[in-house]
Amino acid sequence: MSWLQAVRPWALVVVGMMVLAGCSRKEAAPEPMRTVKLLQVGAHQAEQVRTYAAEIRARTEVRLGFRVAGKLSVRAVELGQSVRAGQVLAHLDAQDYALGVQAAQAQVQAARTQRDLAQADWQRFSALEAEGFISPVELDRRRASLQAAQAQLEQAQAQAAVQGNQSAYTRLLADASGVITGVHAEPGQVLTAGTPVLTLALDGPRDAVFAVPEHLRASLQLEQPVQVRVWGSATVLSGVVRELAASADPVTRTFTVKVALPDDAQPPLGATAQVDVSDAAARKGQAPEVITLPSSAVWQHPQGGSAVWVWEEASSSVRARRIEVAGAQGSELVVRSGLEPGQKVVAVGVHVLQEGQKVGVYQPAAGAQP
């Protein structure tokens, strides 16, 4: 047997051991200790400031309509157009009213002719009665005819004046200067008397108008100061609640609130605004103290409810602590129970931690912003 045949079994054994060593599983490297950012729980006075979305409107808005019925022939203004006092806004088809004026004038002319005839007759009979040719009774009859003719003339003149007014009412005029904020009828539409055609927002003071739910209606009072911020503007306006609806809207079940803005403030009509309203306790500094946490510190516990990671300084580890959230205050959550002032909780990265996990505390570099 040659030396190659003697070495071959040992070579196969060595190669097999090398293959088995290469296929063996390496031990996993230990997970590095995580560093967390902590915040200390503290109680502070609840702000109790509620924010509402409002719309900027004119203090006075008027729905304009014709005082007579007819077919709308011309609408001379468009939505958003500024108008001045006395400007013609729309026309009705006035042909029938013009004919009515002509008929009334003809009746006046006929009544005047009858009156003149009765007056001449009375004057002639007055001369005859003075000479004794007729009795006083006959003269009284002519006087009564004259008075009746005069009354008919006055009636016809009044009817003519009414017809003239009706004809003038076929033109819709602006009562004051302002901006058209609503269009409710189009040319060709047949309207009854009083049907709204346009909405005119009069120039002058502005209001911020918003709605509050039924359970918050009692938290507002007349003359209550509020803060108003128009969308897209950093300016904060001081407003005062000037009107509270006495009844709820039948559809939304909310109450309309109007806030008077300063006279010199003229934000665009229809602009969106934010109204911040603080309750009476917050304004007097008597609001209760509450614990608030950023939403990044709260996570959903597997057994239900909300929880936070409380840092235990003795063991440098974190423990889950279930809490009860009462609501939101701005961008933070209000904690009703489960935490005590002075405890330290993990502020961010709560979803990668485990019960009892040892962690390091993040220390900002010198001069860095916290």
Backbone angles phi, psi at 229, to 5 degrees: -125, 120
In CATH, what class is 51-58+204-282?
mainly beta
- What is the H or E stretch that residue 14 is in? helix 3-23
HSE (CB half, 13 Å, CA atoms) of 217? 14
Q: Please state the domain extents for the chain.
A: 34-47+287-361, 51-58+204-282, 66-93+170-201, 95-168
d(CA 271, CA 281): 31
Structural domain 66-93+170-201, CATH architecture: Beta Barrel (2.40)
For the chain, 370 residues long, give each residue's pLDDT as a single digit of tens. Answer: 454 455 455 555 555 566 555 555 555 555 667 888 888 887 766 556 788 999 999 999 999 999 999 999 999 999 999 999 999 999 999 999 999 999 999 999 999 999 999 999 889 888 888 887 888 888 888 899 999 999 999 999 999 999 999 999 999 999 999 999 999 999 999 999 999 999 999 999 999 999 999 988 888 899 999 999 998 888 889 999 999 999 999 999 999 999 999 988 889 888 999 998 886 544 455 556 778 888 888 988 888 889 999 988 888 888 999 998 877 766 788 888 888 888 899 988 888 888 888 888 888 765 555 5
Residue range 34-47+287-361 in CATH 1.10.1040.10: no
Structural domain 95-168, CATH architecture: Orthogonal Bundle (1.10)
Torsion of CA 204, 205, 208, 212, to 10 degrees: -110
